[in-house]
Amino acid sequence: MTLHGGLIVEARVTHAEKLSADRFRLSAERQGQSETFETRRLLLATGLRDLTPDCIGFRQFYGTSVHHCPDCDGYESRNKRIAVLGGGKKTVGFALSLLTWTNKITLITGGDAGDMTADDCVKLSDLNIQIIDRTIVALEGNVESKQLERVLLQEGDSIECESLFFNLGTELASNLHEMLGCKLDDESGLVWVDESQQTSVPGVYAAGDITPNSQLAVVAAAEGAMAAIHLHQSLIPSERKSRK
């Protein structure tokens, strides 16, 4: 399919390499066939994969009453009973951020509290957030409307709740950046980019969830647009640029 002169190929890129300062090669597979493409610039926008709960029923509710992003779905959960799944200090902050919308929160660590401290537990308890150090084995509710009603815990108990927010981490969806030698951002572990969305490898740009900015659709689209502008600029020959 072509769009505005660009060729759109529905294929999985399996390999990326830098051939020279101004040349990259991609290998792709579709329907069992391999193809290669050569290009002067690359824009990586392969996104992230959320690590999801390994429990029965998860897929039936994910996206409607099971979520991973308080900023995206907190408002719809206002005043509801929320279960939060995850461990460590990051999940403490995650659970606290949900207090903007509801004060009916239970934090379930999945049996791994990570680096959560006794002080964290006191803080959560002072704010009425109960901590349960157990594993979720199943989610139950109205499958037709995708409305969660309870989480079932190992050893038989259950907790009534209308939403579950999980915070189990993410991973980069592809390793093309690794093959190309792109540096990672120290803090987030995502692909480092400069203000023009260029990675540490000249000619390779990155946009969207794989970069350290907020993982939001509008941010991904804006970064893609910025990358396109800078990428285009980088291809304009010097004789067509005004002198500074």
Ligand X SMILES: Cc1cc2nc3c(=O)[nH]c(=O)nc-3n(C[C@H](O)[C@H](O)[C@H](O)COP(=O)(O)OP(=O)(O)OC[C@H]3O[C@@H](n4cnc5c(N)ncnc54)[C@H](O)[C@@H]3O)c2cc1C
Q: Which residues bind ligand X (CB under 6 A)?
A: 12-13, 45-47, 63, 69, 72, 173-174, 208-209, 215-218, 220
Closest residue by Cα to residue 16 from 143, 205, 158: 205
- Between 203 and 208, name the residue whose CB sits nearer to ligand X: 208
Place of tokens 């461990």: 87
- Shortest separation between residue 80's beta carbon and ligand X, angstroms: 17
Q: Which two tokens stand for residue 28?
A: 């792709």
Which amino acid is it at 47?
Answer: G
- Between 158 and 170, name the residue whose CB sits nearer to ligand X: 170
Residue nearest to ligand X (CB): 208
Pairing of strands 33-39, 23-30: antiparallel
- Shortest separation between residue 227's beta carbon and ligand X, angstroms: 11
- Between 63 and 93, name the residue whose CB sits nearer to ligand X: 63
- Shortest separation between residue 194's beta carbon and ligand X, angstroms: 18
- Shortest separation between residue 38's beta carbon and ligand X, angstroms: 16
- Shortest separation between residue 43's beta carbon and ligand X, angstroms: 10
- Between 29 and 194, name the residue whose CB sits nearer to ligand X: 29
H-state helical runs in the chain: 58-61, 70-73, 88-97, 118-126, 176-180, 217-235
- Between 218 and 236, name the residue whose CB sits nearer to ligand X: 218
Q: What is the CA radius of gyration of the chain?
A: 22
Place of tokens 């990428």: 231
**Geometric angle at alpha carbon 93, from 147 and 63, rounded to 5°:** 25
The residues that bridge with 39 in the sheet, in sequence order, are 24
